[in-house]
Amino acid sequence: MEIWAALPMTDYMKAAFIAPVFAMRLLLGLGAIALVLAAMGVYAVMAYSVSQRRPEFGVRMALGAAAGDILRLVLRQGLALAALGIAAGLVLSVGVTRLLAGLLYGVSPFDPVTFAGVPLLLTAIAVLAAWLPARRATRVDPSEALRNE
């Protein structure tokens, strides 16, 4: 190497880590897209389920169910589906982290913060995605729902 080709050590470090940094940024972007798609999917399933059960909610409200009862019913259903998905995701992530261990820098493959934070984030997203259709279900007019039946 010639003396006029000398660069600061930080430039050499950047060049050495460019491929892993690119891979991690790519995985971060794909993960963010997957998170948005998962939120949209949970919302779509819950909204469809609520729209299909509209007559049922009308009957329940006509028989004396409070709006809070309907809200809890729909939220419980949405969170049960989310819990199944999160549990399956945790099981699968244990296997996948072994494959990605070579791309992780400064983080252990079984990082407890990550394994606790991601399910909490997904649970919060599932609560929001289920709460919006559940709130809509509480506004069902019993007479209109029964008339359409």
The answer as to whether 21 is a domain residue is no
In contact, 140 and 57? CB cutoff 8 Å: yes
The answer as to whether 114 is a domain residue is yes
Mean pLDDT for 61-68 is 88
Q: 106-133: per-residue pLDDT in tens? A: 777 788 888 899 899 989 988 998 899 8
What region does 15 belong to: left with phi over 0, alpha with psi -120 to 50, or beta?
A: alpha
The answer as to whether 133 is a domain residue is yes
The answer as to whether 132 is a domain residue is yes
Q: Please name the residue that has the structure tokens 């939120």.
A: 39
Query: Range of 121's domain?
Result: 35-148
The answer as to whether 41 is a domain residue is yes
The answer as to whether 77 is a domain residue is yes
Please tell me the predicted confidence (pLDDT) of residue 149: 62
Q: 10-24: per-residue pLDDT in tens? A: 888 888 888 888 888
The answer as to whether 71 is a domain residue is yes
Amino acid letter, 11? D
Mean pLDDT for 136-142 is 83
Mean pLDDT for 40-46 is 88
> What pTM, to 2 d.p., does this model score?
0.71
Number of domains in the chain: 1
